Structure 1
Amino acid sequence: MTVETGMRAVEIAREWVGTPYRHQASVRGAGADCLGLLRGVWRELFGSEPEPVPAYTWDWSEPEGAERLWTAARRHLRECDMASAPAPGEVVLFRMRDGSVAKHLGIIAEAGDAATFIHAYTGHGVFESPLSAPWLRRVVARFEFP
């Protein structure tokens, strides 16, 4: 990913801040979940989405333990080396509980000591959060846009 693409992804994601949380939605200002935010950023960067997103439940992938979000990210994004420092515009994938599937994501907005990420979270909508220790320990993968 070029620095320009990463910065553009952050700029677009910041335009979504304040969008209410709506499960399965992807409409800036009207509603989005974490995947909907990523889908919206993708559309502004590249045009149409790379594949249709099937309907999904709140507990999607959990009963069978399938890493659907991780697998889909690998199809359309480039996986980053976890030993490297995060960069603005990278997509971060989180495992919210030990032993569960990874099913939350966000976009790195600021890197370094004051790192932040933009995500859509139940009860909060789309907002920018510090990438603090509790969040960092849940990161299982990072990706960059193609």
Structure 2
Amino acid sequence: MSGVIGDEVVRAARGWIGTPYLHQASVRGAGTDCLGLLRGVWREVLGAEPEAVPAYSRDWSEPQGDEALWRAARRHLHVTGQAAPGDVLLFRMREGAVAKHLGLAAEVGARPTFIHAYSGHAVVESPLSAPWARRIVARFAFPERS
């Protein structure tokens, strides 16, 4: 990702810090989940969302083992290798489970961090510690503006 759009993504994501966790929501300051955070940052940085998101349950994709979030990310984002600030990180929270947690790469000084929302917490910026880093299964960059 270019530094300029990456910086905009990080700045926008940090504006969501403190937003309460609310399943399926995407409203800065009112409520969001991890996908809602990504959607909200997309709207702030790039404009209209590229597709409507269908309703989803808390265990969505798990019973079928369907990597729906990964496929959606590949439709709208660019696969990248080493994450740069502003890139999207896709996490598998348990061995053998579908990947269904998202965060946005950032950094504090030289320390890697990521901004995310997860159940029981507000949007937070967490250190990208070894336990979190081990859960990353894919990295994506936002598309450039048209």
Which of the numbers 117, 133, 139 marks the counterpart of 2:136? 139
Where structure 2 has 5 or more consecutive residues not aligned to the other structure, the ranges are none
- The 1-side partners of 2:107 and 2:91 are apart by 17
**CA deviation after TM superposition for structure 1 residue 45, in Å:** 1.1
- The 1-side partners of 2:17 and 2:109 are apart by 21
Aligned to 1:102: 99
TM-score under structure 2 normalisation? Answer: 0.95
Where structure 1 has 5 or more consecutive residues not aligned to the other structure, the ranges are none
Residue pairs, 1:67-86, within 5 angstroms: 67-81=67-81, 84=82, 86=83
Residue pairs, 1:87-126, within 5 angstroms: 87-110=84-107, 114-126=111-123
Deviations 1:47-74 (CA, angstroms, capped at 9, x unpaired): 1100000000000000000000000000
Deviations 1:96-144 (CA, angstroms, capped at 9, x unpaired): 0000000001000117851100000111110100000110000000000
Where has structure 1 moved over 2 Å in runs of 4 or more? Answer: none
The answer to which of 105-114 and 71-80 deviates more is 105-114
Percent identity over paired residues: 69
TM-score under structure 1 normalisation? Answer: 0.95
